[in-house]
Amino acid sequence: MDIDRLARLLDLYLDEGLDSETKRELEEMLLANPKAREFFWQRAELNAHLRQHGQEAWGVKVLGQDGEGGDKLPTVSESRQAKPILKWIVAGLAASLMLAMVGSWILRDGGRVGTRDQVALNSSDMNASNESSLDGGQSSSVDDERPVDGLRDVWVAVLRKAVDVEWKNPLNAPSVGEPMKARRIQFENGLIEIQTNRGARIVLKGPADLEVISDMEIRCEKGRLSVDVPPPAQGFLVHTPLVKVVDRGTAFAMDVRGDTTAEVHVIDGLVELSSQVVDLPMRELREGEAVGVATDGIFNNIPAASESFPSTAEINSRTRAVINEMRQSWKQRRKAISNDPSCLVYFDFERTNDGLRGNQDTIVRNHARDAEGNGNGIIVGCDWTSGRWTGKRALDFKNVSDRVLFSVDGEHESLTCITSIRVGSIDRTFSSLLMSGDAVEGELQWKISRTGADNPMGRLRLARRSAEWDNSVSDFLSDPVIGPQRLGTWMQLAFVWDGINRTCSQYIDGELVSHDFIQTLPDSSFLRTGQLELGNWTPRGSDEVMSPVRNFNGRMDEFVMFNRAFSQSEVLAFHDLKAAYWKGQKANNWSDPSNWFAGVVPTRSDDVYIDASDEQKAVFDSGATEVLSRVIVGSKTGRFGELEISGGSLFATRNSDRHTRVGVAGGVGIVTQSGGEVDLNTLQIGLDPSSQGTYQLSGGNLLLSRGVSATMSSLEIGPQLGRGLLEISGGTLMTRRGVTLGRDGGTGVFFVRGSKASRIDIGSFRDFDGFWVQNTGSTLKVRVDDEGVSQIRVHETTADDGANVHFSNGALLDVGFEATPSAGEWDILKWDGDLVDEGLQFASHVDTDVWSFSFVDTDSSGSPDTLRITAQP
Amino acid sequence: MLFGANDLNSTAPTHRDHVNALFVLHSPRIRGFILSLLPNMSRADDVMQETFLTITAKAEDYERETNFVAWACTIARYKVLEECNRNQKTSLMLSPDVIEAVCVSHSPMTPDEEEGRLAALKDCMDALAPHTRRAVELRYSRAHSAAEIAKLLGWSTDSVYVVLSRARTALQKCITTHLKAVG
């Protein structure tokens, strides 16, 4: 027997490479010789082990393959790799019904994924491009890996819905409607729904940390989730640190809190539980039953409460609410666009109530104020369909003749076009977005191009004809960023032609995808409009045209053209309907629409971003805001934001799990409040590495009316490696829950300056007790004035032993005089609960010959309730 | 946490629970068996699931203390043959009579044996040359076909077959040496 030949044939068999000839040869060998059959099993078992090993190593980046999912976070798979092999075997068993197999879903051109009415919210892997080619034909620079990567990839699940989600790493967040590979998903709050390729549906509520391992297996470290498993996904597996749950045709809910506790509630059918901690027999759990697991790994029966878990109904209703809010925001923005004097064309594709009624189906009205009825679009072909949300109208382009014709006269030194589309498929080399066929200098053509080398990825491409007499064009191209996974999801595309700065930029969903210099002669850096078409092209120039058929396949529900250049922030603001971005153009009054990008003052449930230079701080001095979601001041590395509040009422309590932040993600933020009412859910000052936040309260009232969970503070100063300062020299501060100074490596300063603040009440608002947690390196700073110093009170509101005070070893106390030094003693912090003091100490510069501090039992209860400082100058 | 009394003993495991637990315990071997007869990974996955459903349904047929893996593999074999009949023209599977013949000489490993081999495999993987390892990972972690690996790595399909084959020969040798060294 030729063992080498047998090995070669067996390997071909295992790699699915046999043809009829080699198959016959292999089978003859196997039938003829028992040794061959023995060798067959040796090789086949190695093959099976390799597969098992390969699946367990799932998620580990394939060596040297860049751009894969872009997940820079350590995945659970990676961390698991470090564990001993025995653990692996256990995990292998755990993966038991290893149905856990990798659903391999080949996405081809034209494949559609995702829900129809969702808006894809971000595009994490887009890169700016500096590429420019002037040949008007094939692109010269092609990324070798990308196209193949897009051609076939292992997609295991799709993110169907995401409501009010705050991703832990926004740059790497999945988009709604996009298929996803095995990956880790982390978010602080909000609600998502994932469906695996086997049909298992997971609704998950943050804070959550979940790894999608395959279409039959997930691992959850943290979060509240409900899982609905249809027959094709029977055997679906949920790993958690304490318990493993195998579905047996069910719906069930879980609450997972890392390695401390887990609960499993069966809503329907039954599941099997195995302890991950101790060696227990498998436990079966039926409808209406529930089990809790603590660190000991033992199963304990608990009352079933599956109705308290996130459900499809809940996510649907929240989605509807969000869509409603988006629609409201969109209507307001629509008004602002129409009134913008720079707006040349605005098609919103909605029904109109004017004289066009008879031609509703064939005319799309131009809403630009100064168009005065000119520039209406003539619809040729096209079907009416639904747009980004239920009730929004859109045009469906499908046929080679479908198009919208309109005309806009003139040459434009600067031009911005923004459109909202849903690509059905990229059928051709060029899919037209906005095209001119005039064949004159400056003619513009905006399209999605897909050359053979890029297949199946598309690029955003703006072309400008350089001269009337020849076919030469300047091309501005993005990287091939429109992949098959974007098909069927809504995107907002934009180009900005800036003839003054001589740049051309393109955007997808507010993210820059190309930025190039315009290389024409200085006096000819204009774009010419004229006869235009949406979604198609009619060449009118030379007869020799490359790819004459250029129709777009997809939907469009908004198109707008301005004769000025938008900034990047403005494009982003245009895209993000749930956020308002400070522009600070005209004086600095909050209530002036022209101070906000997209010209709309923050409305109900908006996230408000204030980033500007110090000359352009936002001033809020009168009136009342609608109920906002939150306010972010100083939101990114290199950004500085300032908000001054001197009157009026500012509310940011719309979504209970949204925190207002001052200095986040590396940004620097300052809020000064000298008057007015400010009502926030929770306040985080100086969050994340290298962020700095300052909140100075000298008058007015600051109310922090929520804490996200039982352990969550209402006020955090310096969490997560950030640096934060709260300075109170007047007014009142009231919170519902506790205060944390410095968390996870950050440092915070709570500064009480003098005696003018009338109340500093922690935990006095409504239910829940206050608490005070001061971690190592964080400081309680007080300055005594002639009247003394305002006292901080930590209240017990319920009867469950809260209102405790905790000083870590190395927590600092910084004391001094605001005015003339004088002898005396002052009670600076008072609490109703217990004290844990691991080592509060004076800051190094405090003169300990003058100052001392003590914990005092003022009510003779037997335990200290007051922090008292004493000065003897 | 409001946990009630521990009632571990309140529900005695049924025979079916026992069978399912055995399936969990032995699933790597059953999967391996199926993959040996059906090298296409995604189809093997389907057959594995069908096997699980059949085993659950036929749990009563299993007699305790008899060889579970052998019993489960019999069911799996039928499922593979069904798959084989559905796709008669393919040259990617062995013919039914050959499948029957090789199954006669199949003797599954014990879990201990398997554990040792997997541990050895892991060490041996680290010793592979980077490009070989990459091909192996694309094949086994990501279930790419040889043609797809060829495209991804810019090789010819034939060279992918050769590289994978050499990798298996090298790994088999390495594992044998490793196990001998461990004793």
A127: closest CA of chain B, how far (Å): 22
pLDDT value of position A729: 96
Q: What is the pLDDT of residues A726-735, one digit of tens each?
A: 999 999 999 9
**Rg of chain B in Å (alpha carbons):** 20
Assess whether A286 and A186 both reside in one domain.
Answer: yes
Assess whether A496 and A402 both reside in one domain.
Answer: yes
pLDDT value of position A1: 76
How much is the average pLDDT of B41-69?
Answer: 85
pLDDT higher than 50, residue A138: no
Assess whether A844 and A718 both reside in one domain.
Answer: yes
In CATH, what number is assigned to the domain containing residue B160?
Answer: 1.10.10.10
Q: Domain for residue B18, yes or no?
A: yes
pLDDT value of position A74: 30
Q: What is the pLDDT of residues A415-430, one digit of tens each?
A: 999 999 999 988 888 9
Most confident of B9-18, B146-155, B171-180: B171-180
Assess whether B116 and B92 both reside in one domain.
Answer: no
What is the pLDDT confidence band of residue A9, given thresholds at 50, 70 and 90?
Answer: very high
Q: Domain for residue B4, yes or no?
A: no
Q: Domain for residue B44, yes or no?
A: yes
Assess whether A502 and A525 both reside in one domain.
Answer: yes
Assess whether B29 and B65 both reside in one domain.
Answer: yes
Helix (H) or strand (E) holding A383: strand A383-386
pLDDT value of position A95: 38
pLDDT higher than 80, residue B116: yes
Out of A570, A602, A628, pick the residue that ends a domain: A570
Best probe of the B interface among A89, A181, A265, by most B CBs < 10 A, is A89
pLDDT value of position B183: 60
pLDDT higher than 80, residue A360: no
Strand, coil or helix: A198: coil
Q: Domain for residue A334, yes or no?
A: no
Q: Domain for residue B7, yes or no?
A: no
Q: Domain for residue B2, yes or no?
A: no
Assess whether B39 and B90 both reside in one domain.
Answer: yes
pLDDT higher than 60, residue A79: no
pLDDT value of position A427: 81
Q: What is the domain extent for residue A180?
A: 76-95+155-310
Neighboring chain B residues of A234 at a CB cutoff of 8 Å: 49, 53
How much is the average pLDDT of A648-670?
Answer: 90
pLDDT value of position A375: 82
**CB of A284 less than 8 A from some CB of B:** yes
pLDDT value of position A611: 87
Under an 8 A CB cutoff, do B98 and A18 touch? no
Assess whether A757 and A784 both reside in one domain.
Answer: yes
Q: What is the pLDDT of residues A553-607, one digit of tens each?
A: 999 999 999 999 998 888 988 888 888 989 887 678 999 988 888 888 898 888 9
Assess whether A586 and A563 both reside in one domain.
Answer: no
Assess whether B71 and B121 both reside in one domain.
Answer: no
Percent of chain A with pLDDT over 70: 85
pLDDT higher than 90, residue A483: no
Out of A544, A570, A596, pick the residue that ends a domain: A570
**CB of B23 less than 8 A from some CB of A:** yes
Number of domains in chain A: 5
Assess whether A423 and A356 both reside in one domain.
Answer: yes
Q: What is the domain extent for residue B147?
A: 111-182
Number of domains in chain B: 2
A103: closest CA of chain B, how far (Å): 7
Q: Domain for residue B35, yes or no?
A: yes
Under an 8 A CB cutoff, do A12 and B41 touch? no
Assess whether B92 and B124 both reside in one domain.
Answer: no
B111, B151, B169 member nearest A148 (Cβ): B151
A652 is written with which tokens? Answer: 């940011």
Assess whether A52 and A186 both reside in one domain.
Answer: no
Percent of chain A with pLDDT over 90: 49
Assess whether B52 and B77 both reside in one domain.
Answer: yes
Assess whether B69 and B121 both reside in one domain.
Answer: no
Q: Domain for residue A556, yes or no?
A: yes
Asked if A687 and A654 count as a contact pair (C-beta separation under 8 A), the reply is: no
**CB of A11 less than 8 A from some CB of B:** yes
pLDDT higher than 80, residue A43: yes
Question: Cα-Cα-Cα-Cα dihedral of A332, A338, A343, A345, to 10°?
Answer: 110
Out of B104, B120, B151, pick the residue that ends a domain: B104
Q: What is the pLDDT of residues B83-114, one digit of tens each?
A: 888 776 666 888 888 998 998 888 888 878 88
Number of Cβ atoms within 10 Å of the Cβ of A305: 12
**CB of A82 less than 8 A from some CB of B:** no
Out of B88, B104, B120, pick the residue that ends a domain: B104
Under an 8 A CB cutoff, do A45 and B24 touch? no
How much is the average pLDDT of A740-757?
Answer: 94
Burial A439-458 (b: 16+ CB within 10 A, else e): bebbbbbbbbbbbebbebbb
By mean pLDDT, which of A537-546, A666-675, B169-178 is the weakest? A537-546
pLDDT value of position A210: 94
Assess whether A773 and A829 both reside in one domain.
Answer: yes
Under an 8 A CB cutoff, do A15 and B95 touch? no
Q: What is the pLDDT of residues B19-28, one digit of tens each?
A: 888 887 888 8
Q: Domain for residue A146, yes or no?
A: no
Assess whether B71 and B53 both reside in one domain.
Answer: yes
Q: What is the pLDDT of residues A83-110, one digit of tens each?
A: 232 233 333 333 333 333 333 223 333 3
pLDDT value of position A544: 58
pLDDT value of position A117: 33
Assess whether A711 and A791 both reside in one domain.
Answer: yes
Out of A271, A292, A310, pick the residue that ends a domain: A310
As a whole number of angstroms, the distance between CA A185 and CA A61 comes to 16
Assess whether B92 and B119 both reside in one domain.
Answer: no
pLDDT value of position A313: 85
Neighboring chain B residues of A42 at a CB cutoff of 8 Å: 172
Assess whether B21 and B98 both reside in one domain.
Answer: yes
Q: Domain for residue B8, yes or no?
A: no
Q: Domain for residue A398, yes or no?
A: yes
In CATH, what number is assigned to the domain containing residue A399?
Answer: 2.60.120.200
Most confident of A64-68, A179-183, A785-789: A785-789
Neighboring chain A residues of B72 at a CB cutoff of 8 Å: none
CA dihedral (A290, A292, A297, A299) positive or negative: negative
Residue among A724, A678, A683 at smallest CA distance from A702: A678
Q: Tokens 């005209």 correspond to what residue?
A: A586
pLDDT value of position A26: 93
pLDDT value of position A373: 65
B5, B102, B148 member nearest A30 (Cβ): B102
Asked if A233 and A355 count as a contact pair (C-beta separation under 8 A), the reply is: no
Asked if A695 and A663 count as a contact pair (C-beta separation under 8 A), the reply is: no
What are the angstrom distances between the C-alpha of A618 and each of A333, A344, A567, A591, A604?
Answer: 20, 30, 19, 10, 18
Q: What is the pLDDT of residues B152-162, one digit of tens each?
A: 887 888 889 99
Under an 8 A CB cutoff, do A97 and B27 touch? yes
Q: Domain for residue A321, yes or no?
A: no
Q: Domain for residue A408, yes or no?
A: yes
**CB of A453 less than 8 A from some CB of B:** no
Assess whether B94 and B151 both reside in one domain.
Answer: no
Assess whether A825 and A703 both reside in one domain.
Answer: yes
Contacts of B165 (CB under 8 A, 6+ apart): A7, A8, A11, A12, A15
Nearest CA in chain B to A3: B169
Q: What is the pLDDT of residues A23-42, one digit of tens each?
A: 999 999 999 999 999 999 99
Cis peptide before A341 (omega within 30 of 0): no
A542: closest CA of chain B, how far (Å): 39
Best probe of the A interface among B24, B84, B104, by most A CBs < 10 A, is B24
Q: Domain for residue A276, yes or no?
A: yes
Nearest CA in chain B to A36: B102
Out of B54, B71, B104, pick the residue that ends a domain: B104
Contacts of B176 (CB under 8 A, 6+ apart): none
pLDDT value of position B77: 92
Q: Domain for residue A713, yes or no?
A: yes
For chain A, the average pLDDT equals 83
Assess whether B161 and B98 both reside in one domain.
Answer: no
Neighboring chain B residues of A303 at a CB cutoff of 8 Å: 2, 4
Assess whether A612 and A526 both reside in one domain.
Answer: no
